[in-house]
Homo-oligomer: A and B are copies of this chain.
């Protein structure tokens, strides 16, 4: 009877997105899912404790997250009505897919890129078109995206950590006729950002609190677009997609920009040292605008290195892309974690 369970064929056929390994317990050095190695702002803990009342837990949350929207709008200098709250930025990516992409439609994205975009196409029963970046991570020509119901651009990109900005990005967006999702999950580690592009009628910028705000555990992200676009997207989200505790945490976190900048400075300093040392060990390290480094080797496949590190309780992300090859995506950890990583790598490579 299972075989006859009338799942949509696209669901049965798909393999499912495989998130990075999340060992529950053991003393792993986790450099595989781009978590922030530092704890969130102390204000986050206070805000969660304040929200921890019987009345707050037993009642439904504010469906649109008014307090978060107002706070974030002030910090970002935008209209509160231009913000959509999400249960992680993955939730926002799901919402835009459902809003724009019909079954049998088309999602396009540069490759190598964030693997989830293809999964979202599969769930929606849409085609996925992967267009190769240029050799130096320039954007693929905009013509390739013609006819797409939705274009995803991770910027900074994963796994490369590279970023496209300025005129090159604006011209590319101008040439694309459909909606463009500018996925800025890692933008707080970059030199600039594309928030101003959310004023265009066909652009939605997405952000997450998982990386720069150290809140992967509480699941909160947001989208920014014109208010008339946000109003349509609100129809598609689950009514109460964000809970009271994560709303309290996210609001406190985004209000504490001093703390975010303090953590950012530490990560950028470690990133620079780590890139130099990995290069000395024979890795091709792509210059990064994110909190991770994309490390490839000319001399051999990297799978063995991944496995040797895992034996030593260090997790990095082994990634392979069709027609491109493999690499290790290594998160920027604490200074001590990176010292351990480098020590072990010196024994391995």
Contact = CB atoms under 8 A, between A and B. Distances in A.
B240 A61 contact: no
A297 interface: no
A104 B104 CA distance: 12
Contacts of A76: none
A73 interface: no
A279 interface: no
Interface in A10-66: 11-12, 14-17, 19-20, 22, 24, 30, 33, 35-40, 44-45, 48-49, 52-63, 66
A62 B19 CA distance: 10
A237 to B, nearest CB: 9
B201 A240 contact: no
Contact of A216 (B8, B58, B98, B235): B58
Contacts of A20: 60
Given A11-B235, A215-B58, A6 B179 contact: yes
Contacts of A2: 201, 226, 228-229
A35 B1 CA distance: 38
A276 interface: no
A218 interface: yes
A24 B124 CA distance: 35
A77 interface: no
Given A238-B94, A240-B19, A57 B7 contact: no
Contact of A214 (B58, B99, B210): B58
A22 B62 contact: yes
A245 B216 contact: no
A10 to B, nearest CB: 9
A202 interface: yes
Interface in A304-322: none
Given A19-B63, A19-B240, A245-B246, A123 B98 contact: yes
A170 interface: no
Nearest to A53: B39
Contact of A217 (B35, B45, B58): B58
A102 interface: yes
A173 interface: no
B219 A123 contact: no
A35 B58 contact: yes
Interface string A115-136: 0100000011100000000000
Interface stretch (A85-93, A156-164, A189-197, A338-346): A85-93
Interface of A: 1-2, 5-8, 11-12, 14-17, 19-20, 22, 24, 30, 33, 35-40, 44-45, 48-49, 52-63, 66, 87-88, 90-91, 94, 98-104, 116, 123-125, 149, 178-179, 201-202, 210, 214-219, 226, 228-229, 232, 234-236, 238-246, 249
Given A7-B99, A11-B232, A116-B239, 12 more contacts: A7-B100, A22-B62, A24-B66, A36-B58, A38-B54, A38-B58, A39-B53, A57-B249, A217-B243, A217-B244, A218-B243, A219-B242
8 contacts: A6-B149, A24-B66, A57-B216, A59-B216, A60-B210, A87-B243, A243-B243, A243-B245
